[in-house]
Structure formats: structure tokens, C-alpha cells
Structure 1
Amino acid sequence: MNYRLLFRAAGLAALAISLSSCSGNRDNGRDKGPPEAGFITVKPETVPLEVELSGRTTAYETSEVRPQVSGLVKARLFTEGSIVQAGQTLYQIDPSLYSAAVNEATANLANAEANREATQARANRYRPLAEIEAVAKQDYTDAAATAKQAAASVAQTRASLETARINLAFTRVPAPITGRIGRSLVTTGALVTSNQADPLTTIQRLDPIYVDIQQSSAELLALRRSLAPGGGGQRVPVRLKLEDNSEYPLEGRLEFAEAMVDPNTGTVTLRALFPNPSGILLPGMYVRARLAQATSQGAFLVPQQGLSRTPRGEATVMVVGADNKAVERKVTADRTIGDKWLVTSGIAAGDRLIVEGLGKIRPGQPVKPVPAGSPPASGKAPPGAAQGGSRPAARG
């Protein structure tokens, strides 16, 4: 075997590999052009500004049931916790004394009417006799006065009878409003009085129901100052989040805001009205209310991936300049709306905001602008695009 020829062939092969490697390195080092920048064109919008505030539910109507006459409770005629109708009898108070008072007043009225008839007849007989001076005119005058007194007595006893009948009716204690009745605070056989302070029970109307919302006066002032004139509204939709973080299915509306600030808490009370047909909301429940108190005019909604913060907390975005160079801008973005930032200054309508490829882009660097979501320049479909045509992954 000729070892010299073998060594020579091995050397030529190594040289070829080395040359090929150097050529590849030069190819890889070539400039492939500016990086792609996926952009969106921003446009101003009218954005409702939502706030989430704490509140408590309050019954639409509340009535404390009290007796209007005194006596012993003979029966309770309702089921605790049920819905009662206005005028429905709730308690029966012993009517014996009041029934006797009606009978007495009826007899007094009959007596007064009989006396009126007798006195009126006497006055009628004396009148013609007085005219011919068969009797003294004073006798006729006395008879006529007695007849008028008897008529007045009839009216008086008739009023007494009406009072007795009203008191008898009050022995059946009615429901003053329609609503859900609470527990009974008295039992059968209890003595109740017409001027007692404690109620017999309480009725609450819960459909609809109020939600009293508390907002600090400072926040309310700051919000109103930051809005365009006419942006605020009082009758606006309100959504509720319950104590277990579930969403209340029905939407309410804001009724009014109190025109005063509570000096103890520094808050203003807003009252919203909600339908409550299923009785889910009960008085005293703690809730979180979301409402759009006003709207921001001419603001921009920017995807969160398109906005970054400096170490000092300043918000910045990257836009495509007129010469296709990346331009960094400081913006004002104080709040989020859903999954986007609300930008109120720093960008203008028509700006091309970079939201993809930001990891490879520096301010002042030339970029290749493409609409956000476009396939990469290589033309290769991103993983998963063949199944169902899912959206390409964001650049960078």
C-alpha cells in the first residue's frame, strides 16, 4: 500500500471540508434585511369607562306591620317567609269588645233617630200655632231648637258607629304592601296594643330591588374631570358580581346619585335598580357593581403586547415611522379595558403600532412592516396551521 498517496488524499479531503465550512459561515453572516414588524393601524374610539364598586342590596319597599287596635291575637293567618298580597289578612285580634261597641253604637243611633223624629214632629206642630198665636212663639222656638239638637245627635252617633266599625275591621290586621313576609314576632294569645313600638312582622318587596353603591367623592371628581363634556350619564347599565364571585344574570340600571357626600366616609351613594324575579338578591347582601359611568372620547385601545413600561414606569409603544424605521413613543395609559390598554395620548389616528416582532426591534432600526397576523416571510406555515388554520404565532 502506498501510504504517501493515502495521506495526500486525506489532506485534500480536509482542505475541501474547511473551504466548505468557511463558505457556509460567510453565507450565514450575510445580511438578511430588516426584521419584520407586525403592526396594526390604530383608530380613535368612544370607550365606556367601567368602574367596579362595592355595594349592598336594599329592599324596594319595606313595611313594618303594627296593630291599630289593642287586644289578644287569636290567630296568625300567613306562612312565614311566603309572598303575601296587599290587603291580605295576617293576624286576627279578638273582636269581641269591638263587635259589642258596634252594637252599642247601632243602638245609640236608633235612639237618636227616634228622638229626632219626635222633636221634629213637635216643632212642625208648633209652627202653625205660633203663626196664629195659639201658642207662645218662644215655645215654637224651643221646639225647633230641640229638633235641631236631636238631628245633631243623630250625626254624632252615626260617626261613633262608623268609628266602632272601623275598629272592628282593624281586628283583622292586613298586609299594607305586596312582598315577602318575615318571621312573626308575636304568637297566638299575645297581647298587642295600638301604640306599641315593636312590629308584629315585616314585609319587604324584593322585586325589583335596590343596590346602594358607594364611591369616593375624590374618584368621582377625578373621573368626571377626565372626561369629555356630556360623557357622564345617570341611567346607565349596571352588572353585579355576587359574594361567591358569580355573575348576577340580570342587568340593572343606575337610578340616581345622591347630591351630598357622607362626611364620615367621604363617599357618595349611587342607587341602582335590579329585577329580582327569582329572589336571588336578598336585603343586606354585599355585591360588587360594574358600571360605565361615562365614556372617553377619541381614545385608543392598544393590545397589551404592544405596550411596555420603562424602569420608571412610563408607558411606551413602538410605531412604524414614515421611513419604515421603528419609533418609540411615550403614551398615557392609566387603565385597561378588557385585555387592552386605554391610551389617551401619545399616538394619533392612522399610526402603525407594532405589536409583533418587538423582541428583535430597537428604536431607530429599519423594519419591514407587515399587517399583524401575516405568515412569516419564509412562507412556511407555523406549527398547527395545517390543522384547522389557526392564527400564526406572534413574531418575537
Structure 2
Amino acid sequence: MTLPAAAQPTPGRGGPIAAGIILLEEAQVPYSVTLPGRAVAYEEVDIRPRVDGTIRDIIYEAGRKVEKGDVLFRIEGDTFEVDVAAAEAEVARAKAAVTAAEATLSRYERLQGTGVTIEDVETARVAVLQNKAELSSSRAALKIAQLNLQRTEIQSPITGIAEVPNVSVGAVVTANQSDALTMVTRLDPIYIDVEESSKRLAEVRAMIEGGTLERGEDLDLSLTLENGAQYDQKGTLESPGTRVSTTTGTFEFRIRFDNPERRLLPGQFLRVKIELGTTRAVLVPQGATARAADGTLTAFVAVDDIAEQRELTEHGSYKNAWIVTDGISAGEALIVDGLTSMRDGASLKTVPVNISDTGVVTEQTADDSDEG
């Protein structure tokens, strides 16, 4: 901008520097923190065979959604069908043996004392029990054979997206092998795991207890994507941290986001903004500040037409301004224009200006002065 003639610097070396100023005000602003996070699948499972055999069919289409219970692979089941038939025959034989033993016992009980001794009856009774035990054993063997036959159809235990198969038709597989046949991943919803330092947590608690931070009814959780775009879904705190890492001094907590369009994928690094409540603070336009290599945030204020550099303490940002809690006060004159040659202790020629939410500085009009 071009400052009015009255505010132009005095000709000659060492004259006052023209500076546009605004009077700072205190406001109730949202208090938020932004944390890095990593996307984690809501559910993820490796698919492995539970019986030995040869892959006969691959049913699913890689990259497509499969439902819980859908068949993904089929193993050749001829051998298992034979095992079931043999087990069924053994059950039938055991049933017949029980029937015969029970008939013998019944006859011996009727004839006891007429050529059949008590020992004969007891022997027949033991034979019934033994045959019943064999029947139970054969039924259990049949159940195992039936389960193994069912397991020749390898189903998805969850609803999700199935990856490319790691085997082809004709491959020989073994029960519970280390190499998975494929993986199924549920992407909607999805988790974002973030970490926060225990020091920051203590600071926030101190602010709440001291009354400088008014806690909101609910946490407002938003997400920034890798390309800087804002994600259109709000998050829900799923699991708060309960333990501080002894190596990093941080605690981890998990946030859940709906992911119907699968824009979020496991492994992505994202940023989560957590709005904790509101606090009274001075809003300092970011364009009027400078950040040193060590992270120190500074700004210039005009005190009796002298530039004074201040070190600011900020707790996040709101729109295009820093939320400053220390280093500058409401009512002070912040220098927002003419900063190119500004230095601590410089003599100033100040002029009130306006600064927009986007950081554009304009000359203050008479109407603006009347409103002020």
C-alpha cells in the first residue's frame, strides 16, 4: 500500500520509518492443536488355508469388495469327500454295534439266574458302554471330516477389499502356512493413530484448571489430507491414550473417520486438528510476524513512536492469525506494514491501517476512524 503523505519517512538518512499499525483486541477464539497421524485399517486379516491341498479355483476379483462369508478360494475336495464317507460308515457301524450290545444286555438281564450269571450281565453292560464310547468317537471323527471338507472353501471372515492373490490355481498349500493367500482389508471406517506429548497434555490441563481454556462439550476432530485439502468427514475419539512411551514421552490415541469413498488408505500420513475448546487471547496476523530458525515467533509493536520487537507465545492459529497468549497485550499497536526495513528501537512515523482476514493492508478511512 502507499502511506499518506503525512506518514512518509522524513528525508535524509536515519529518518523515521513509515509504519502501518493496528490496535490489538482480545477475543474468545477456538483453541486447537494439530498433530501428525497415520492411517490404520479398521480391520485387516491374512487369508490362510486350514487344510492341506491344491488350489482348484480362485473365486474373487482382486481390488473388489467382498462380503463376510464370501468364498475366495477352493481347494480340491475329493480326498475330503472320501474321508467324510468313511467317517459316516464308521458312525453307522458303531450305531449297529451299540444296538447289538444293548440287545445282548437286555436278553442277559431276562435270563439272569437261568444259565446266565451276574458276571455275564456285567460284561454285557460294559460292552454297551464301550460301544457307545466308540460311537461318540466316530461321530467326532465325522464332524472333523465334515469341517475339513467345509474348509476346502476358504471364506472371507470380514467385509472388505481383497488384494491380489499370492498363489495361482494348481498351487499346493498347507494348513496354517506362514505365507498368506491374500489379505482382506476393511477401509470404511478407518482409524487415524496420533501421538501427543505428555508435556502438552499437562499444559492443556493447567489451562483448563486455571480458567484460561474453556473446555467444549465435545472434541471437534478434523483431518487434513496429504495434498493439503480438508477432509469432509468429522472424526470420533475411539481410544484415548492411557500410557506414556518411555522413549518418546508421548501417548498414542486413536480416532475413527468414516471413509465411504476410500480416500484414506492405511499407511498414509495425515494431520489431525483437535479443537479442545475456546480461550481468550490476542489474535496477531501471521503476516506481521517472523519465525526464527529456532522456532521463536516475533513481532514489532509501536511504543511512543519507537519500534519494539516482542517474542510471542502462541498456542495454534485461527484463520490467518496466531493465537497469542503472552508477549503482547490487547490495546497495543502492532506494526503490520513497513516491516521490510523494521528494526528494534527504530524511530517510527505511524499511521492507522486496516488488515483483512487474508492479510491485505489498506489505509484507514475517515469512516473507519468514526467506527473506531
> Normalised by the shorter chain, which TM-score bucket?
0.7 to 0.9
- Cα displacement string for residues 298-357 of structure 1 (whole angstroms, at most 9, x for unaligned residues): 334456699999xx97767679xxxxxxxx998965244222342435888xx7666799
Where 1:183 maps in the other structure, the secondary structure is coil
1:238 maps to: 221
Where 1:260 maps in the other structure, the secondary structure is coil
Mapped pair 1:210 → 2:196: no
Change (3 A) 1:375 1:290: closer
Change (3 A) 1:266 1:109: same
Q: What's the CA shift for 1:134? A: 4.0
Pick from 161, 175, 198 the counterpart of residue 179 of structure 2.
198
Percent identity, aligned pairs only, is 32
Mapped pair 1:77 → 2:59: yes
Counterparts of 1:203-352 in structure 2, within 5 Å, are: 203-228=184-209, 236-292=219-275, 294-301=276-283, 333-335=313-315, 336-344=317-325
CA distance in 1: counterparts of 2:68 and 2:188, whole angstroms: 15
Change (3 A) 1:375 1:298: closer
Q: What's the CA shift for 1:125? A: 0.9
2:347 maps to: none
Structure 2: stretches of 5+ with no match in the other structure: 1-19, 339-349, 356-361
Q: What's the CA shift for 1:265? A: 3.9
Q: Answer yes or no: is the 8 Å Cα contact 1:224–1:232 preserved in 2.
A: no
More relative contact order, 1 or 2 (CA 8 Å, 6+ apart)? 2
Where 2:184 maps in the other structure, the secondary structure is strand
Q: Answer yes or no: is the 8 Å Cα contact 2:289–2:297 preserved in 1.
A: no
Mapped pair 1:62 → 2:44: yes
Q: Which has the larger radius of gyration?
A: 1
- Cα displacement string for residues 138-183 of structure 1 (whole angstroms, at most 9, x for unaligned residues): 1111112112211222121111111111111011011011101111
Where 1:342 maps in the other structure, the secondary structure is strand
Counterparts of 1:137-176 in structure 2, within 5 Å, are: 137-176=118-157
Q: What's the CA shift for 1:40? A: 7.1
Greater shift, 253-262 or 266-275, is seen at 253-262
* TM-score computed with the length of structure 1 as normaliser: 0.69
Q: What's the CA shift for 1:242? A: 2.0
Q: Answer yes or no: is the 8 Å Cα contact 2:288–2:336 preserved in 1.
A: no
Change (3 A) 1:234 1:205: farther
CA distance in 2: counterparts of 1:179 and 1:243, whole angstroms: 24
Q: Answer yes or no: is the 8 Å Cα contact 1:306–1:353 preserved in 2.
A: no
Give the aligned length.
329
- Structure whose residues are more often strand by fraction: 2
1:189 maps to: 170
Change (3 A) 1:101 1:232: farther
Q: What's the CA shift for 1:59? A: 0.3
Matched to 2:314, the amino acid is: D
CA distance in 2: counterparts of 1:295 and 1:161, whole angstroms: 63
Mapped pair 1:98 → 2:80: yes
Change (3 A) 1:254 1:136: closer
Q: Answer yes or no: is the 8 Å Cα contact 2:24–2:284 preserved in 1.
A: no
Where 1:236 maps in the other structure, the secondary structure is strand
CA distance in 2: counterparts of 1:330 and 1:227, whole angstroms: 26
Q: CA RMSD in A?
A: 4.2
Mapped pair 1:123 → 2:105: yes
Q: What's the CA shift for 1:197? A: 0.9
Q: Answer yes or no: is the 8 Å Cα contact 2:297–2:311 preserved in 1.
A: no
CA distance in 2: counterparts of 1:228 and 1:296, whole angstroms: 14
